[in-house]
Amino acid sequence: MSELTKSNRNPDDFLNSEEEPDYHERLDFYAPGENSNKFWHIWVYGRYVIRRYGRQGAKGQSAVHMAYSSWDAREEADKLYWQKTNKGYVKDQTTVLDHIARKL
């Protein structure tokens, strides 16, 4: 498996295009007692891996990395996905209102 290298491409070039990603996942992390409410997205477009992460309600930060091949990009994205789930991030299909209700 190859390593990802930093790319100087703008993430919005991919995310604002009409092209569908080859892979996309969204994970959320909630720890109300720790005042932690974060999101993490990952997209794969060919051999490019785009990550966006930050606090819920904010645009967050983005990074674009490039792999040797599209196969390597997908493998790296899967590896990053599992690293996040092992830290407690979950695939969350609830709405913002559901999360507000949880805090009440």
Write down the domain spans for the chain.
Answer: 5-103
Residue 77 pLDDT > 70: yes
Residue 1 pLDDT > 50: no
SS3 string, the chain, reads CCCCEECCCCHHHHHCCCCCCCEEEEEEEEEHHHCEEEEEEEEEECCEEEEEEEECCCCCEEEEEECCCHHHHHHHHHHHHHHHHHCCCECCCCCHHHHHHHHC
pLDDT, tens only, 65-76:
999 999 999 999
Rounded to two decimals, what is the model's pTM? 0.82
The architecture CATH gives domain 5-103: Single Sheet (2.20)
Mean pLDDT of the chain: 88
* Percentage of the chain modeled with pLDDT above 70: 86
